[in-house]
Amino acid sequence: MILKSLRTYFNNELLGYYPETEIQSFFNLLTEHILKMKRIDVSLNLYMLVSGKKYDKYQNAINGLQAYKPIQYILGETEFYGLPFKVDNSVLIPRPETEELVDWIIKENKLKENISILDIGTGSGCIAITLAKHLPHAKIYALDISKEALKTANSNAKLNKVDVEFIEADALDFIIENIEFDIIVSNPPYVREKEKSAMKPNVLQHEPHLALFVEDDDALVFYRKIAEQSHNLLKPNGQLYFEINQYLANDIKLLLEKQHFKAIELKQDIFGNDRMVKGIKS
């Protein structure tokens, strides 16, 4: 099939599943991945033949997209803060909001040397690895309960040529001895079960629920446990950063106040939602 016909076929097969602009974006991403062609190259090569294994990859992608499989999982990769990351269904797909959290930490700490950072619930490793890349004088540790997630995070550390010490442990029940941290950061599960109905099928059907959801009756369980642990793990005046559920911002702020954190600061994401909070150990 020639590229022009393939583009038309791709579009027709996905109409009704996604908006047309999103379908075009999927096609461009796949073409760059499979044919190593930028969008401008497509218009210059509309009559090139796409056959064999390359055509099969498009067909497999169509099948996956019709089942609402995220395009990042189909490609097996994504970009976060300008860096490449491998992703599969063992890890959450990194979000732009998390880039904002990482940017906040980098900007506030880029002039500091010999600092230690712990990322709790690292998943793909996007937070820890990006911090290691942009804060080269920091020693980075990253913790996750999932063996599969840690395999992915390890491969991403190698891909981005950084050193991160990965720890397999439960964020709700772990011990780290003989280390004090300047910074602890976490993007824990924070979507309440009752919020599932508002989520898109590509997230709900494919991304790991372990990393997404918390019970409605104890939605702050990870924040509470991590804040409690942080008193033992942080140095005096150490910083605790969280990504948060926008609907629970005031509750999380109150929780940190009760845990005797000071200078608590709440930040909005680019959409104007309460998305990040920082506190300093008293």
The whole-number average pLDDT for the span 157-178 is: 94
Whether residue 125 is annotated as binding a ligand: the answer is: yes
| Alpha helix (H) residue ranges in the chain | 3-14, 20-34, 39-44, 52-66, 71-75, 96-109, 126-134, 147-159, 201-204, 221-233, 249-258
> What is the reported pLDDT for 23?
97
> What is the reported pLDDT for 196?
78
Whether residue 173 is annotated as binding a ligand: the answer is: no
Give the Cβ contact number of residue 113 at 10 Å: 9
Pairing of strands 77-80, 83-86: antiparallel
Whether residue 197 is annotated as binding a ligand: the answer is: no
pLDDT digits (tens, 9 = 90+) for 103-112: 999 999 999 9
The amino acid sitting at 160 is: N
The whole-number average pLDDT for the span 192-204 is: 81
Cα atoms found within 13 Å of the Cα of residue 21, Cβ hemisphere only: 0
Q: Which residue has the tokens 């269904």?
A: 89
Whether residue 124 is annotated as binding a ligand: the answer is: yes
- CATH topology for 90-281 is Rossmann fold (3.40.50)
Domains of the chain, by residue range, sit at 3-67, 90-281
Residue 86 and residue 149: Cα distance in Å, rounded? 11
The whole-number average pLDDT for the span 194-220 is: 81
pLDDT digits (tens, 9 = 90+) for 145-155: 999 999 999 99
pLDDT digits (tens, 9 = 90+) for 42-90: 989 999 999 999 999 999 999 999 999 999 999 999 999 999 999 999 9
Whether residue 238 is annotated as binding a ligand: the answer is: no
Summary mean pLDDT of the chain: 94
Whether residue 187 is annotated as binding a ligand: the answer is: yes
Whether residue 144 is annotated as binding a ligand: the answer is: yes
- Please answer whether residues 123 and 98 qualify as being in contact, where contact means their C-beta atoms are separated by less than 8 angstroms: no
Whether residue 189 is annotated as binding a ligand: the answer is: yes
Whether residue 122 is annotated as binding a ligand: the answer is: yes
- Please answer whether residues 169 and 233 qualify as being in contact, where contact means their C-beta atoms are separated by less than 8 angstroms: no
Structure-model confidence comparison of residues 16 and 189, the more confident one: 16
> What is the reported pLDDT for 236?
95
Residue 143 and residue 123: Cα distance in Å, rounded? 8
pTM of the model: 0.92
3-state class percentages of the chain: helix first, strand second, coil last, to nearest 5: 45, 25, 30
Whether residue 251 is annotated as binding a ligand: the answer is: no
